[in-house]
Amino acid sequence: MTLNRRKFLGATAAMTGAAMLPRAVLAADAIKLGSIVDTSGIFDAYGKPMDMALRLAVNEINGAGGLLGRKIEVIAYDTQSDMALYSQYAQQLTRQDKVDVVHGGILSASREAIRQTMRKTKTLYFYNVQYEGGVCDHNIFCNGLTPAQQAEVLVPWAMKEAGGKKVYTLAADYNYGQITARWIEKYVRDAGGEVLSTDFFPLDVADFGATIAKIQTAAPDLVIAPLVGGAHLSFFRQWAASGMKDKIPLASTTLGVGNEHKVLTPEEGNGIMVAYSYSQDLDTPANIAFKERWSAAYGDPSALHELAISTYYGVHTWAKGVEMAGSVERDAVIAALETGVSFDGPAGKYTVDPKTHHATVDVHLMKFKDQKMDVVETLSQRPPIDTQAVCDLEANPDDNTQYEIQI
Amino acid sequence: MPPRPELPLRRKGRGRFLYAQNRPKDTMDLSFVILVEMLYAVASLILIGAGLAVVFGMMKVINLAHGEFMMMGGYATITAVNLGVNVFVAMLIIAPLIVGLIGLVVERLVIRHLYGRLVDTMLATWGLSLFFIGMTTMIFGNTTTGISTPIPGFAVGGYQINGYNFFIIVVAVLLLIGILAVLKTTRAGLVARGAMQRADMAASLGYSPDRIYMATFFCGSALSGLAGAVLAPLVGLVPTSGGAYIAKAFITVIAGGPSLVAGLLSSAGFFGIVSRIFTFAISPVIGEVALLVAAVILLRLLPQGITGRFLTGRL
C-alpha cells in the first residue's frame, strides 16, 4: 500500500478526532472540581493530606452515583509552596479549565492571592483552613476555625488552668500571627487578665534562649504561642530543655495543626493546651469509621490533621449545596448553601453560617498527652462570632473586604 | 465569667506553678543568665563557622552547601538515635563521620576539579546544596523531625537555664583547642598549613597536595556535621534547615579574617555579644538585625577581617 501525504494527513486527522471524541463527551458530562494546594515544598505536610482528603470525598461521592447523576472530575494543581504559582494556576483553573468550583489555598497569603480571581470570574471558592477570620465575600466559603472559635474558648480556659491572669504572647510575624495576637489580647482582657508582652518572630527564627530568659523576668502565669512552622518548633524544645515546662503552662493556637505533637517527645509536649475542631484521637464512631475509610484508601492515617478534615467537609458541603440547588451554577449553589446546609462527619457537625459564609463547628479543648491530644472539654456548635460582628452578607452581598480586629 | 479570686485559687493545689514565679529574682541571677546566653551565642557561632573556616579559610573553597552539611549532621544524629544509639555517640562520633564521608565523596567527584576556580565552586556547591535538600526530602520527607535535649535544665536563683547550653559551650571550647593542637603540634597540621600556603613547595618536598586537600575537606565536612548534630536537639529539623545557618557561617568566617582559630574566636565573640545585647534589650528580630549591621560596619572598617589587622600571623 502506498501512502501519500494527503492520505496520511487525512487518516491521522480522522484517528485523532475519533480518539478525542469520547473524552470530549465525557468531559462535558463531568462536573469539574478544581483543587489548588501545596503538595510539595515546605508546606506539603499541610497540603498533601488536604489533597488526599479532597480526593477521598470526591471518590465517596462518585462511588455513590455521582452528583446530579454526573461524575466529579478533579483538576488539581500543585503550587509547590510558591505564592506566585497560586495566581497563575487560579487563572488556569478559572479561564482555561473553566471549573465549577475551586477548593484550596493554605496560608492566608495564598488565599488572598486567588480570592479576587475567583470573584471576578464568578467561580465558587472554598477555603478550608483555620485562619485569622474576617473575610467577607459573597463568593467564598470558609469552614476553618477563626480566632473567636479558638482563642475565645482557649484563652479563658488556659488562664483558669494556669491559675493566673498574667499572659505572655509569642507570635509568628505575618498576618496570621499579628491578627491572632490582637485577638488573644482581647480575650485575655475580657477574662480580667493582662498581656505582659507580645513578641513577634520571623518564620526562620530558631533560637529562643534570650526570649525564654525574658519570659522568666516578666514572670507570667501563662504563655500563649501562636508560632508557625519548623523553626518555631524549636521554642517548645528549648522551653522544655530549660525546665520551664512544668513551671509556667503553655497554650497554642497552632501547635498540632501539622501534627507537631507527634514530633515533640512526651516530656516536651505533655500538658500543652490547644483548641481545635478535630483531632485524630477523637473517640467517636464517625471518626473511627472515617479513619478506616482513610486507611483503606491510603494506608496509615497518622498524617491526618484538621486542615485535611476541613477540606473533606468543604467538598461534601459543596456537594450538598449542588444537590439541593439541582445545578452547579454558582448563584444557585450559593443560595442553597445559604439555607444553612450542614454536614456531619468525623469532627461532628459543620453548619454554613448564611451571614458570613463561615462555619459553625464543635470545638474541643485539649491537652497534649503522650503525643496525642486528650480531649478535656467539648463545646458544641460554636458560631464564628468574630466575623459575624463585622460581616453581614445578607445585608451587603457586594461586600469584598477582610476585616481586622481593632482594639 | 466572674473575676476569679487569685490568691485562694493559687493556694488550692496550684502550687506547682507557684514555685518559679514567687521565688525572688535578683539582678545577680539575671546577669548570670545573660552571661550564659552570651557565651552560648558565641559558642554556637563558633560551631556554625568552624567547618566553613577550614574549607574556606584554608582552601579558599566557597562551600555554599555548608548549611546542608550541617543539616545532614542533624539527620544522621536523629536517625542514629532512633536506631537506639546513645545520643552523645551519635552526635560526637557518628554524625561527623557520616558527613565527613559525604564530604569526601563530594570532594573526589566535584570539588577537586574546581580548585582555584572561585565562581565555579560557588555554582557547583550551590547545586550540591539543592541536591542534598532534594535527597533528604526524598528519604526523610518534608516534615519537621527532632530529638529532645539529653541534658535537663536547672535553676539559677529564680531562673531556669537550659543545661544543654553548657554542653554547647564546652564542645565549642574543646573544638577550638583541638583545631589549635592539631595545626600547631602535629606533623599533619604542619603539612596541611604548608600545603595551603605553597602547594608547589609542599609537592616538591614529597607531599601530595591532592591528598592534603582531600583530607582537609574531609575534616571541614566532619566539623560541619558535628555542628549540625550538636545543634539538632535545639531545633525542629527540616531538609531546608541549612539555609538558616549559611549566612551566619559566612559572616563569622569572613569577618574573622585569615587566621583560623583567632579569627573564628574574635568574630564569633564580637557578633555573639552584639546580637545578644540587642536581643535582651529590644527583641530577637533586632538582635539579628544588629548582627548584620555590625558585620557590614566591621567589614567596611576592616576589609581583611579582624585578624587581617589585629593578631596577624596567629593561627
Kindly state whether residue B127 falls inside one of the protein's structural domains.
Answer: yes
> CA B280, CA A213: separation in Å to the nearest integer?
9
State the smallest CA–CA distance between residue B222 and chain A in angstroms.
23
Mean pLDDT is highest, among A247-256, B2-11, B24-33, B150-159, for A247-256
> CA A170, CA B140: separation in Å to the nearest integer?
29
Q: Which residues of B60-84 are buried (b: 16+ CB within 10 A; e: fewer)?
A: ebbbbbbbbbbbbbbbbbbbbbeee
- Domain with B224 in it: 26-144+161-245
Q: Which helix (H) or strand (E) holds B180?
A: helix B164-185
> CA B140, CA B78: separation in Å to the nearest integer?
11
Kindly state whether residue B262 falls inside one of the protein's structural domains.
Answer: no
> CA A176, CA B210: separation in Å to the nearest integer?
53
Phi first, then psi: what are they for A174, rounded to 5°? -155, -175
User: With 80 as the cut, is the pLDDT of residue B114 above it?
Assistant: yes
Kindly state whether residue B122 falls inside one of the protein's structural domains.
Answer: yes
Residues of B in contact with A164 (CB under 8 A): 6, 10, 17, 21
Say how many domains are in chain B: 1
Pairing relationship of beta strands A166-172 and A222-224 according to DSSP bridges:
parallel
CA-based nearest residue to B161, from A168, A209, A127, A190: A209
pLDDT in tens, B233-245: 888 788 888 988 9
User: With 60 as the cut, is the pLDDT of residue B19 above it?
Assistant: no
Kindly state whether residue B277 falls inside one of the protein's structural domains.
Answer: no
Q: Are the beta carbons of A205 and B284 separated by less than 8 Å?
A: yes
**pLDDT, averaged across chain A:** 90
Contact A349, A362 (CB under 8 A): yes
Q: Using only the alpha carbons of chain B, give its radius of gyration.
A: 22
What's residue B48's pLDDT?
A: 95
State the smallest CA–CA distance between residue A138 and chain B in angstroms.
35
pTM (whole model) above 0.90: no
Kindly state whether residue B291 falls inside one of the protein's structural domains.
Answer: no
Interface predicted TM-score of the whole assembly (ipTM), two decimals: 0.74
Kindly state whether residue B16 falls inside one of the protein's structural domains.
Answer: no
State the smallest CA–CA distance between residue B17 and chain A in angstroms.
5
What is the chain A residue with the closest CA to B150?
A241
B86 Cβ under 8 Å from any chain A Cβ = no
The predicted model gives A213-234 an average pLDDT of 89
CB neighbour list of residue A295: distance below 8 Å, 6 or more residues apart: A301
Distances (CA, A) of A72 to A125, A362, B194: 16, 29, 72
pLDDT in tens, A179-210: 899 999 999 999 999 999 999 998 878 888 88
Q: Are the beta carbons of A244 and B16 separated by less than 8 Å?
A: no
Strands (E) across chain B are located at 154-156, 159-161
Kindly state whether residue B276 falls inside one of the protein's structural domains.
Answer: no
Maximum Cα–Cα distance across chain B: 88
Q: Are the beta carbons of B236 and A234 separated by less than 8 Å?
A: yes
Kindly state whether residue B252 falls inside one of the protein's structural domains.
Answer: no
> CA B7, CA B22: separation in Å to the nearest integer?
12
pLDDT in tens, A80-130: 888 899 999 999 999 999 999 999 999 888 999 999 999 999 999 999 999
All structural domains of chain A: 27-145+281-361+385-398 (3.40.50.2300), 148-276 (3.40.50.2300)
What is the chain A residue with the closest CA to B238?
A230
Pairing relationship of beta strands B159-161 and A400-402 according to DSSP bridges:
unpaired
B236 SS3 class: coil
> CA B10, CA A162: separation in Å to the nearest integer?
9
A191 SS3 class: coil
Contact B106, B221 (CB under 8 A): yes
B276 Cβ under 8 Å from any chain A Cβ = yes
